[in-house]
Amino acid sequence: MRENDMLEKEEIFSKVLRAGRRTYFFDVRATKADDYYITITESKKFTEEDGSFHFKKHKIYLYKEDFAAFAEILGEMTSYVLNHKGEEVISERHQKDFKKEYASDKTDDDEILPQTSTFTDIEFDDI
């Protein structure tokens, strides 16, 4: 069997989760004995000062005999985090509504100005 045929046979089902500079790949693959297992790959993009970039990848292989225990512990860990810290992302860098939250910190006596974008429209004719 050609190498490309083997790769096509190996990958059965895939899903992708893009999360900022990280991308997670969830793949169902087949063993030589035609049994299934899952790989979870984290790919993280790093940009160099010169504008070039590279990716670092980490992969987990998860076999059927470990599915139940893995799912149980993952569920327990995610519940723990959500119960103790909630769903809101604390880091300013990751907050979707950081400016909105700033405006909501004002009291009723403060004038709430409409938020303006820091982007400036520049026409090529202006340059």
Q: What is the pLDDT of residues 1-14, one digit of tens each?
A: 455 555 445 679 99
Mean pLDDT for the chain? 76
Q: What is the pLDDT of residues 32-45, one digit of tens each?
A: 899 999 999 999 98
Read off the pLDDT of each residue in 98-119 and give the average, rounded to a whole number.
48
> pTM of the predicted model, to two decimals?
0.59
Query: Of the candidates 65, 9, 75, 15, which has an alpha carbon nearest to the alpha carbon of residue 37?
Result: 65
